[in-house]
Amino acid sequence: MSDIRFTDQHEWVRVDGDIATIGITDYAQEQLGDVVFVELPEVGKDIAAGDEAAVVESVKAASEVYSPVSGEVIDVNSDIEKTPAGVNEDAMGDGWFVKLRLTDPSELDKLMDETAYNEFVESLQ
């Protein structure tokens, strides 16, 4: 059973047990344009909510991806390091960035659910 939550900075976090998978939303990849570089953290690193979890660069600019939750990095998506365009192709799925082992599941309560995020994106357009 998984649950997906969103930040107002256009990151998503999908939770399965105590494992959180983090990526950027489809809206975010569209705003960025063609992703040409992704930098991911080391496995084993502790990341606090709001810290930089990854860096994603388009032809135009670099952007930080902030972690919506706190935890230890247990896996990174090396496929998107090799093929950054994967972020554009499937931002919400195969284009994920990192997996964390959650240290404080209550942080999820501060994030938007899918309905709230979709409304938020609509308000931006």
Partner 1 sequence: MSEAAVQTEILKTTPLHALHVELGAKMVPFAGYDMPVQYPDGVLSEHLHTRAAAGLFDVSHMGQAYLVGPDHASVCAAIEALVPGDILGLEPTAIRYTLLLNDKGGIRDDLMVTRTAKDGTLFLVVNAACKDADFAHIAGHLPKGIELHRLEDRALIALQGPKAAAVFARFAPGAAAQDFMTGLEMTVAGIPCLVSRSGYTGEDGYEISVPEAEAVALTKKLLAEPEVKPIGLGARDSLRLEAGLCLYGHDIDETTTPVEGALTWTISKRRREEGNFPGAKIILDQIASGVTRKRVGLLPEGKAPAREGTEITDASGRKIGVVTSGGYGPSVGGPIAMGYVETAHAKAGTGVELMVRGKGRPAKVVAMPFVEKRFHKPGK
Q: Which residues bind partner 1 (CB under 8 A)?
A: 9-11, 24, 28, 33-34, 36-37, 39, 55-66
What is residue 90's three-state secondary structure? coil
**Residue listed under structure tokens 């998107």:** 80
Q: Three-class SS of residue 20?
A: strand
Closer of 88 and 105 to partner 1 (Cβ): 88
Which two structure tokens, joined as six digits, stand for 30? 């569209």
- Cβ 37 to partner 1 shortest distance, Å: 6
Contact 95, 85 (CB under 8 A): no
C-beta of 1: minimal distance to partner 1 in Å?
27
Minimum distance from residue 67 beta carbon to partner 1 (Å) = 12
